[in-house]
């Protein structure tokens, strides 16, 4: 798909059912952080303004979302870049 066709918007809305499932952990991984953050901004917008769900915690630097955890659901979302592949190695 081309520019301005809604790819980030659709990706954000595709994530929501999994994020709203209790006790889940998900990542948004993009080729670079700026592209991954486009999706994260839309997810945060829907969670905060449309669904009005409370956040237990979040890590945000200069408006860029790195992590958020939904209160009550114990669901987590991390935003990562594939530029540094070592940073994608998880606990298990």
- Give the total number of structural domains in the chain: 1
pLDDT at 69 over 70: yes
Q: In this structure, is residue 19 part of a structural domain?
A: yes
Query: Beta strand pairing status for 64-70 and 55-61?
Result: antiparallel
* Residue 92, in any domain of the structure: no
pLDDT of residue 6: 85
Structural domain includes residue 26: yes
Does residue 73 lie within any of the structural domains?
A: yes
E strand intervals along 1-92: 25-30, 55-61, 64-70, 75-81
Domain range for residue 68?
7-84
Q: What phi and psi, each to the nearest 5 degrees, are found at residue 35?
A: -70, -40
Q: Answer whether residue 1 is part of any domain.
A: no
Q: Per the domain annotation, does 89 fall within a domain?
A: no
Whether the predicted pLDDT of 9 surpasses 70: yes
Residues 25-40 pLDDT 10s: 999 999 999 999 999 9
pTM above threshold 0.75 = yes
């Amino acid at each position: 798909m081309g520019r301005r066709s809604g790819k980030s918007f659709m990706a954000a809305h595709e994530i929501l059912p999994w994020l709203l499932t209790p006790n889940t952990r998900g990542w948004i991984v993009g080729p670079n952080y700026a592209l991954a953050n486009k999706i994260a901004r839309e997810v945060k917008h829907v969670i905060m303004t449309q669904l009005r769900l409370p956040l237990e915690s979040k890590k945000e630097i200069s408006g860029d979302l790195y992590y958020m955890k939904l209160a009550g659901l114990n669901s987590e979302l991390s935003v990562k870049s594939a530029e540094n592949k070592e940073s994608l190695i998880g606990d298990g």
